Amino acid sequence: MVRGCVVFCVGSIVLLFGAETPARRQHLRADTIEIVKAPVIVEESALPVRRVPPPVEGTQLFSSKKAEILHLTPADANLATNNTRQTFGRIAGVMIWENDGTGVQAGVAVRGLSPNRSWELNTRMDGADIAADIAGYPEAYFTPAFESLERIEIIRGAAALQFGPQFGGLLNYVTKTAPQDRALGGESSQIGGQNGYYSTYTAFGGTQGRWSYYVFGNYRRSDGWRLPVRLATGEQRESDQFWQYSVMPKLEYRPSDWTRITAEVTLLQYRMQQPGGLDSAQFAADGRQAMRYRDWFGVRWIVPMLMVEHRFSEGVYLSGRLFGVLGERNSIGLTTPPSIPDSGSNPRRVNADEYRNGGVELRVRSDVAIGTALHPLVAGLRLYRGTTLRRQGRGPDGDGFSTTFVAPLTRDLEFVSENAAAFVEWQLRLAERLTVTPGVRIEWLGMSGQGTFTREKPASNPDAFDTAGTPFRFDKRAREVLPLAGIGLQWAMSNQLELYANAHQSWRPAQFSELFPSDPTVAVDPSLHSSRGVSTDVGVRGTVANALSIDVSGFYLYYGDRIGTIARSALGADTVLLTNGASQLRRNVGASEHRGVEFYAELFADRLARLGDHGASLFIAGAFTDARYTSGPVAGKLVEYAPKWIVRSGLRYRWKALLVLSLQGSSAGECYSDASNTQSTASGINGIIPAYTVWDMSAQIRITWWLAAEININNIFDRRYFTRRAGGYPGPGIIPADGRVVTGGLRVNF
C-alpha cells in the first residue's frame, strides 16, 4: 500500500510538471521571482481585517473551505498568560477547556467535539505536527507561547483531504519571522501579576543578504489561583504552582530568488502541580480550595523542522517539510476521588510516556491553463512513523515530582504507528466568478502494540499501584486503508461577498488504548476500525459597505463508527468474542450527528463615520449547535461537552496610536460531561456543566515609539464556574476555572 501511495503521488507530480502550455508561458516572467508568498490566483476579498486566507497560496488550496486567520496582538488578548478563551474570541463556536488559567495545555474544539488537548483537531505549528502521535495518541501536550505567534489558522472539517485525520479540521500555530528590512530588530516583555505570576519574553532577528535569523525565549511561572493545602500539622503547601520555558531558533536561507530553505527547532518544558478536582459540595463551598499538593505533571517537547520552498516557474511550486517530535509526558499522583483526603503518605502512581516520531510532507502546485483561465492543482505525499513507550507503576511516597518506579511495572508497553497518504485537489474555474474544487485522498495506516501489563492494587490498598497478578503479554497489529473524497464550490456574488460550500469525508484513527487495551477485562472486536464520517459547510463571507466583516455558515457533521465498550450482558451471540476471561468488548458501537450555525460579524465604526483620532470596532462570534448520538447504546442522548450555544462578543477602542482598549465577554450554554447525560453526582465526576458568562479586559498604552505598558483583567467579575469534570487526570472531579486575575507590565520594541 505504501508503494501504491508513492506511485500515486509521483504520477501526480509528473502530470503537474507536464502541464505547461502556451497559455501558461504567457504568464512567465523573464526576471527573478520573489518566493516569500506565491501569487494569489483569485482576487482576495476586500476585508478590512484579513480573516480569510486567499483561495490559493503557495502549495495550499483554501478555496470553498471554511478557513479563518486570527492575527494576534497584545492589545486584544492576554498573550503573556496564553489566555485561550480571550485569544480565540473571534473564532466562531470554539469550546475551550480551562484546566489552568495560563494556557499551558490548550484544549479547544469546534462543532460539539471533545476539547481534550485539542485531539479532535489536526494540531500543527508552522505546518508541522506537534501532537504526541497524530494517529495513535493525538493529544497536544505542546502549546506554543502565544507571544511568539504571528497568527493562528483554523480550517474546519474540509481540511481532511489536504492535512489528514480528525473531524475538527486543522489548527495551525504560525510563529513570527525575522524582519526583512534590517539586520537586527526585536521585542521584549516583562509581565507580572497576582498569585506570583511572572512572564518574560524576548525575541530578536534580522536579515543580512540572503540569510535571515530569528530567536525567541519565554519563561513563565506562577503559584496558581487555587489555594494552598492546609496539613493536619497546620502547615500550608502550595497546590497549583507551575513553571514553563520555551526557546526557538529559526534560520532562513535563500540561495536564489526562487528558493527558500528554513530550519527551526522548538524546545518546550514545563512542570505543574495538579491541585485535583472537587466534589459538588466542595465546589459549592469554595471553588478555590485544593485537595492535593503531591500530584505533578511534567512535559519536555522538542519539535525540529526543515522546510524547502521552490518556484520552478510562474505556475509551478514545490514545498517540502521534514519534521519530528521528541517528547516526554510524565505524571505522579493519587487517583482517588476528592472526598478521600491525602494523608501525606498515600502511595502515588507514576505514568511515564516517551514519544519519538517523524515524517515528511511533499506538496506540488501547478496552475494548469485551460483556455484563458488558470486552474490550480495541488497534490501531496505524506510519510510518517511514530513510536510511543508507555510505563506505569508505583512511585515514591514523597511530595515532590519524580518519575522513579519503586515497584515492578504494571504497564510496560510499546506502540508504533505508520502512515502513508497521498492527495490531489483541483480548483476548476467554471466561470469568471464560479469555481468548483474536487479532491481525493488515500490513507494507509498501520499500528502495532506489544508489551506486558498486570492488574494493579487499588488506591485504597497500602501497597496501591503495585502488581496484583500474573503479567499479561500481547503482540498485536492492525492495518487499514481509507479512501476519502470531497468537493467544494465558491461563488463570488460581488467584489465583497462570496458564497462557499463543501462536503468532505473525514476520519479519526482508532487510538492505541482502543486497539490495544491494557486491561485484561476488555477484549477487542477483530473488526474494530477507525471512525469515519462526513463534514459539510454552506456559508457567506465578506464585507458590507467596507465596514462590516461577516462569515455566517451552516454545518452538518456525521461522526460514524464511534468506538465504545459493551458489557457481556448486552452482547448476545457476540459473547464468543470475549476471550481469556474478558467481560467487556471494545468495538464500533454507534454514531452522532452534529448540526448548527456558526457566525462572526465585526463592525468597524471608524469606516462608517469620521471619528478623528478615535477608532472602534464591535464583534460577535458564536455557534448554535445540536449534537446528539443517533445510534448505539446512548442513542438519543446529547454529545458530551457540546453546549447548545457558545457566544463571544467584544469592543475594541483606539485613540491615536497611544491607547488600545479591548473588552470581551464569553458565554456558553450548559452541557453534559458524559454520554449518558448524568444530571449530577456527589463525587463531581459526572453531571451537568452549568452555563456561564465571563468578561475579560486588556489595555495597552504607548509611552514612546519603543515602549508600551499593558494591563489585563481576566474574569473581571470574579465568576465561579467550571468547564470540565474529570474522571481521572487532572482530577478526578470538578476542575474549577480561574477567578479574577490581574496582570500587567511593559513591552519594548527595538
Range of the domain at 710: 2-741
Reported as a single tens digit per residue, the pLDDT across 419-443 is 999 999 999 999 999 999 999 999 9
SS3 624: strand
Taking residues 316-339, report their average pLDDT: 93
The total number of residues shown for the chain amounts to 750
- Identify the sign of the CA torsion 159, 165, 169, 175: negative
User: Do residues 98 and 84 lie in contact, with contact meaning Cβ atoms separated by under 8 Å?
Assistant: yes
Q: What pLDDT is recorded for position 630?
A: 97
Q: What pLDDT is recorded for position 469?
A: 83
Q: What is the mean pLDDT of the chain?
A: 90
Query: Of 9-13, 190-194, 578-582, where does mean pLDDT reach its minimum?
Result: 9-13
d(C-alpha 597, C-alpha 171), whole Å: 20
Which residue did the predictor score with more confidence, 691 or 518? 691
User: Do residues 426 and 375 lie in contact, with contact meaning Cβ atoms separated by under 8 Å?
Assistant: yes
Residue 132 pLDDT level (bands cut at 50, 70, 90): very high
pLDDT at residue 486 is higher than 70: yes
Taking residues 60-76, report their average pLDDT: 93
∠ CA 705-711-716 to the nearest 5 degrees? 155
> Do the bridges between strand 122-125 and strand 60-61 make them parallel or antiparallel, or are there none, so unpaired?
unpaired
Other Cβ atoms closer than 10 A to 740: 15
User: Do residues 56 and 427 lie in contact, with contact meaning Cβ atoms separated by under 8 Å?
Assistant: yes
d(C-alpha 177, C-alpha 203), whole Å: 10
Reference 302, options 241, 260, 354; nearest CA is: 354
d(C-alpha 478, C-alpha 500), whole Å: 38
Reported as a single tens digit per residue, the pLDDT across 270-302 is 999 999 999 999 999 999 999 999 999 999 999
pLDDT at residue 697 is higher than 70: yes
Instruction: Name, of 254-268, 326-340, 463-477, the range with top average pLDDT.
Output: 254-268
Reference 81, options 689, 616, 649, 740; nearest CA is: 740
pLDDT at residue 28 is higher than 80: no
Burial class (CB in 10 A: 0-12, 13-18, 19+), 604: buried
Taking residues 405-422, report their average pLDDT: 96
Residue 498 pLDDT level (bands cut at 50, 70, 90): very high
Q: What does 63-103 look like in DSSP terms, one character per residue? A: TTS-EEEEE--TTTS-GGGT-HHHHTTTSTT-EEE-SSTT-
Taking residues 36-55, report their average pLDDT: 49
Query: For residue 80, what is its C-alpha cell?
Result: 503573556
Q: What pLDDT is recorded for position 741?
A: 97
Reference 364, options 56, 13, 53, 34; nearest CA is: 13
Q: What pLDDT is recorded for position 564?
A: 86
Q: What pLDDT is recorded for position 336?
A: 81
Q: What pLDDT is recorded for position 120?
A: 94
In the chain, the number of structural domains is 1
Any domain includes 746: no
pLDDT at residue 42 is higher than 50: no
Q: What does 31-57 look like in DSSP terms, one character per residue? A: S----SSPPPSSPPP--SS--S--SEE
Q: What pLDDT is recorded for position 575?
A: 81
Reference 73, options 193, 167, 227, 176; nearest CA is: 176
Q: What pLDDT is recorded for position 747?
A: 98
Reference 262, options 301, 302, 309, 215; nearest CA is: 309
User: Do residues 46 and 495 lie in contact, with contact meaning Cβ atoms separated by under 8 Å?
Assistant: yes
Any domain includes 748: no
Taking residues 122-127, report their average pLDDT: 97
Reference 269, options 317, 217, 234, 223; nearest CA is: 217
Reference 225, options 108, 101, 323; nearest CA is: 101
- Name the percent of the chain lying above pLDDT 90: 77
Any domain includes 16: yes
Reported as a single tens digit per residue, the pLDDT across 645-691 is 999 999 999 999 899 999 999 999 999 999 999 998 888 999 999 99
d(C-alpha 739, C-alpha 730), whole Å: 18
SS3 147: helix
Other Cβ atoms closer than 10 A to 115: 24
The alpha-carbon radius of gyration of the chain (Å, integer) is 26
Any domain includes 141: yes
pLDDT at residue 14 is higher than 70: no
Reference 701, options 688, 712, 713; nearest CA is: 712
Taking residues 530-534, report their average pLDDT: 96
User: Do residues 698 and 74 lie in contact, with contact meaning Cβ atoms separated by under 8 Å?
Assistant: yes
Domain of 66: which CATH number? 2.40.170.20
Reported as a single tens digit per residue, the pLDDT across 203-216 is 999 999 999 999 99
Q: What pLDDT is recorded for position 50?
A: 56
Any domain includes 98: yes
Tell whether omega for the bond before 732 is within 30 degrees of 0, i.e. cis.
yes
Which residue did the predictor score with more confidence, 606 or 152? 152
Q: What pLDDT is recorded for position 302?
A: 98
> Do the bridges between strand 316-333 and strand 348-370 make them parallel or antiparallel, or are there none, so unpaired?
antiparallel
- Identify the sign of the CA torsion 634, 587, 481, 354: positive
- Name the percent of the chain lying above pLDDT 70: 93
From residue 397, give the alpha-carbon distance in Å to each of 408, 439, 487, 705.
Answer: 15, 56, 57, 54
